[in-house]
């Protein structure tokens, strides 16, 4: 079984789906001959040609509007937004058109499209190349939102997303694009959208996270076990909308403590929704408050990037405080 990184897994998923279904097309800035700024689409232009893999102007609203039209007329477009920070010019097209098409047409039309975009910090990109906008899209009825943390999940979830009848925001954690490596089966397979994965079993604390923060949380869990004899149950959400509340609640009812880790700003971040859901449904099982370890309510900094991002130290400090509540 080959060992791939996330970029290679995404590329493999796109290639397989384009071979399987000639309705799948890829579009975006520099995705053609150049193969994308992160090389996620390398080789696809040569294999499938300019009618199915093509470059667009630097106009995100136009990219998404074009993809919506393609989806309505029977294609399955996979537009790429080069960085999640640049998705905002297309916000109206995504939340008012793509997300609402099925509802406004009474189910007569679907809008099957997957918007791929790298998100999050960790590459010294500053405030225009490091944002985490997932909460905006989780808040939008009609969208599915996926955020894998590793190559195996990235491939299986992308295949599932391309085959889904709804518009999907597919957030790729660029900090671990090449750092995260794992065995990935050859050929096609699907991972169900909406199913979280428990990465480590534990009895003392539940840590809920996604994307690049999964790796930080796992490192923190190892440190807590080695230094404090504390076992953490780490849950990789994988899908943010719909999210797997059943798995979260099952874990929290076992451990009695919940921590949510994400690198987006704290106020109204996705952790706030998770915290509310846990508190509403598992309050009597909790032995302390639901804790959030997140980015700060500031623009993403350049020089202080490592301070802004949740770290192993911040997670372990918060965990010890919660355990001693």
Residue of 129, 139, 262, 307 marked active site: 129
Is cis: bond before 146, omega within 30 of 0?
Answer: no
Q: Which residues pair with 158 in a beta bridge?
A: none
Q: Which residues pair with 200 in a beta bridge?
A: 234
Task: Tell me the C-alpha distance between 260 and 281, whole Å.
Answer: 16
Q: If you ran DSSP here, which 8-state letter would residue 93 be given? A: I
Burial class (CB in 10 A: 0-12, 13-18, 19+), 47: exposed
Could you tell me how far CA 228 lies from the centroid of its own chain?
31
Which residue in the block uniquely carries the two structure tokens 């998923």? 13
Handedness of CA 86, 92, 96, 101 (dihedral sign): negative
Number of residues written out for the chain: 325
Q: Strands 3-5 and 24-28: what pairing? A: unpaired
Residue 262 annotated to the active site? no
Task: Tell me the C-alpha distance between 127 and 86, whole Å.
Answer: 11
- 8 Å CB contact between 77 and 67: yes
Catalytic residues, which ones?
129
């Amino acid at each position: 079984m080959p060992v791939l990184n996330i970029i290679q897994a995404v590329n493999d998923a796109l290639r397989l789906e384009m071979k399987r279904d000639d309705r799948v097309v890829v579009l975006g800035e520099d995705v053609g001959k150049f193969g994308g700024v992160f090389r996620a689409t390398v080789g696809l232009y040569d294999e499938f040609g300019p009618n199915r893999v093509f470059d667009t102007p630097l106009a995100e609203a136009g990219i998404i509007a074009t993809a919506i039209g393609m989806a309505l007329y029977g294609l399955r477009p996979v537009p790429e937004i080069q960085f999640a920070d640049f998705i905002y010019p297309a916000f109206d097209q995504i939340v008012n058109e793509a997300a609402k098409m099925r509802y406004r047409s009474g189910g007569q039309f679907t809008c099957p499209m997957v918007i791929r975009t790298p998100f999050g910090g960790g590459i010294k990109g500053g405030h225009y190349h490091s944002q985490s906008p997932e909460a905006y899209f989780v808040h939008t009825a009609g969208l599915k939102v996926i955020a894998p943390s590793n190559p195996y999940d990235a491939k299986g979830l992308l295949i599932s997303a391309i085959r889904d009848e709804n518009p999907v925001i597919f957030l790729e954690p660029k900090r671990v694009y090449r750092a995260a490596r794992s065995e990935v089966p050859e050929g096609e397979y699907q991972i169900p959208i909406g199913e979280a994965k428990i990465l480590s079993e534990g009895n003392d604390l539940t840590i809920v996270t996604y994307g690049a923060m999964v790796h930080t949380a796992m490192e923190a869990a190892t440190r807590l076990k080695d230094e404090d004899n504390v076992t953490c149950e780490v849950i990789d959400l994988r899908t943010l909308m719909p999210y797997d509340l059943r798995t979260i609640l099952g874990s929290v009812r076992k451990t009695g403590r919940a921590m949510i880790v994400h690198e987006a700003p704290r106020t109204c971040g996705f952790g706030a929704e998770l915290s509310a859901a846990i508190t509403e449904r598992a309050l009597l099982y909790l032995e302390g408050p639901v804790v959030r370890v997140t980015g700060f309510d500031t623009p993403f900094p350049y020089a202080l990037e490592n301070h802004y991002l949740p770290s192993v130290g911040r997670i372990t400090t918060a965990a010890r405080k919660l355990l001693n509540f």
